């Protein structure tokens, strides 16, 4: 159950042996869809897109911000319907935003590659991030995923993660300074990312 103002690790895997991203444009298209569906309801702190799975660390926006966004939807437009909102309705709406992301990407992907059926596992995973230590280890885990899975030898060589954005002046949707504040400094952010393989991290999640 997604709740306002809380941090979550959001992740999902391709259905069976499917590949989620076959080329660069697939990655860019997914990120554009992510911006459209998720950025209005969540702030992004880290991400990594892998050939058959992905990871995001997000913070759901405040209740007030979500209410303002909900007002743009006709089904919530009347005062009566808006006043009927409760935690369950809001949580369902937030989950639906992610479902819409996966659905819209899948529809375009299937059309492009002449395939049918689901592309992602049915239910995406969501795990609340409860403390600073978990937050820091999770960001390291997300950025080190391509190295851990043998796709590259260096995190900086993987184009489709947020790692390089922390050392760039280019505009980004990431809440970079919030992340650095969690780490305390850019030096600590960099140094902790150099600490060996992530296989020993016990973050208590699976596909």
Q: Tell me which DSSP letter residue 23 carries.
A: S
Determine the pLDDT at residue 81. 59
Residue-wise pLDDT for 75-119, tens only, equals 765 555 556 667 888 888 999 999 999 999 999 999 999 999 999
pTM of the entire structure?
0.92
pLDDT > 90? residue 74 = no
Predicted pLDDT at 205: 63
pLDDT band at 60 (very low <50, low <70, confident <90, very high): very high
* pLDDT tier for residue 200 given thresholds of 50, 70 and 90: low
Structure tokens at 48: 């990594």
Mean pLDDT of 20-43: 97
Q: Which domains does the chain have, with CATH numbers?
A: 7-200 (3.30.70.1290)
Residue that is written with structure tokens 């184009």 in the block: 159
The answer to whether 109 and 123 are in contact (CB under 8 A) is: no
Q: How far apart are CA 157 and CA 153, in angstroms?
A: 8
How sure is the predictor about 122, in pLDDT bands with cuts at 50, 70 and 90? Answer: confident
The secondary structure of residue 94, as a DSSP letter, is H
* Averaged pLDDT, 45-68: 95
- Cα separation, 45 vs 7, in Å, equals 9
E-assigned strands of the chain?
A: 7-13, 42-49, 53-60, 125-128
Tell me the Cα Rg of the chain. 18
């Amino acid at each position: 159950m997604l709740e306002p103002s809380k941090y979550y690790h959001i992740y999902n895997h391709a259905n069976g042996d499917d590949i989620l991203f076959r080329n660069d444009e697939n990655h860019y298209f997914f990120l554009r869809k992510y911006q459209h569906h998720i950025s209005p309801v969540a702030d992004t702190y880290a991400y990594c897109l892998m050939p058959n799975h992905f990871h995001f660390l997000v913070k759901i926006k405040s209740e007030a911000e979500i209410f303002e966004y909900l007002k743009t939807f006709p089904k919530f437009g009347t005062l009566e319907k808006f006043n009927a909102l409760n935690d369950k309705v809001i949580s369902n709406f937030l989950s639906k935003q992610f479902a819409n992301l996966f659905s819209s990407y899948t529809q375009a992907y299937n059309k492009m590659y002449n395939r049918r059926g689901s592309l992602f596992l049915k239910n995406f995973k969501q795990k609340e991030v409860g403390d600073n230590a978990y937050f820091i280890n999770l960001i390291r885990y997300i950025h080190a995923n391509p190295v851990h899975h043998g796709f590259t030898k260096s995190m900086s060589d993987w184009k489709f993660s947020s790692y390089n954005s922390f050392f760039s002046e280019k505009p980004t949707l990431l809440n970079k300074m919030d992340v650095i504040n969690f780490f305390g400094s850019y030096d600590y952010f960099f140094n902790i990312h150099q600490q060996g393989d992530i296989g020993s991290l016990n973050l208590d999640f699976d596909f």
